[in-house]
Structure 1
């Protein structure tokens, strides 16, 4: 029962391209198959929530330099059992950026992605089934760096490709909502 709201959101999501469509189907099957899909202890993978934070004029986005992965990404993280992934995205956005006033642009899913997380000391390689939401914040708020990040910054949308070659970041940057 706790998975049904996510399944409903997923079934209403309109993928941007064939690659996102394939990942959407993978996520739907994963969620249907694993009642503990929101739990980090599920070693093969788990559902995560992320935030694509845009400025009101849509010319900038917030990216974080992830400390463990040493790359630029959108804020996001583990659900830790919470099936409210919009809430997870908001929580992670606040924790990883320090932004206090973040507005939900839409409760609908903005993007989905399935990606591999490399093995680390106590964790085997696994998949993140990432559900992304479109959020908005003003650029005059200060950032607060967390232990999870090496940096946080607003990035002009036309300069994102200079920081990252991540396909999913570039896909989200291409979407216009």
Structure 2
């Protein structure tokens, strides 16, 4: 077992510990980690693969930076494919930096804040597949001026309480907003 696989295993077990509704989902992530065959950290594994995302909160913790995703045409958290990187917390931090242009970002913890397994529809030559998305809290520094990358149509700081109350928002964003507010 590779070192990062052991760290991810520990982080997934920490995520599930004491929270019954997290156990089954964390179990699916652990199953993917344990499967033989194709690398679950590579997007070439078309049955499904790991991704890393950032719940990128403002310095004061009241807002989150969201992307209007170019391909999916939805407001989502920043994140992306692991592309062979077995450190999903590092993937989340890297993607947050690349997609926002913000400097001074810091990872709050190496335990996922949220896990989400979601279906990505067929696009071009890539068939539909599962993303096993581990989401980590990343905190912005005082300078919150972002740069929109080519992966986004737009970026925006959104009030977390407003996301939690918005019935039109992506359900996983609402779940993370509610979890953040409850913490």
Indicate whether the TM-score tops 0.5: yes
> 1:97·1:145 contact (CA, 8 Å) conserved in 2?
yes
Matched, 1:130 2:133: yes
Q: How many pairs align?
A: 176
Cα-Cα RMSD: 1.8
Counterpart residue number, 1:37: 40
Counterpart residue number, 2:112: 109
TM superposition shift of 1:123: 0.3
Q: Hey, what's the Cα distance between the residues in 2 that align with 1:33 and 1:124?
A: 21
Q: Hey, what's the Cα distance between the residues in 2 that align with 1:64 and 1:139?
A: 20
Counterpart residue number, 1:7: 9
Could you say if the C-alpha distance between residues 150 and 50 of structure 1 is closer, same or farther in structure 2, counting changes exceeding 3 Å? same
Could you say if the C-alpha distance between residues 139 and 166 of structure 1 is closer, same or farther in structure 2, counting changes exceeding 3 Å? farther
27, 30, 42: which one pairs with 1:28? 30
Unaligned 5+ runs, structure 1: none
> 1:106·1:133 contact (CA, 8 Å) conserved in 2?
yes
Q: Hey, what's the Cα distance between the residues in 1 that align with 2:167 and 2:72?
A: 14
SS at match of 2:75: strand
Counterpart residue number, 1:94: 97
> Scaled by the length of structure 2, what TM-score is found?
0.88
Unaligned 5+ runs, structure 2: none
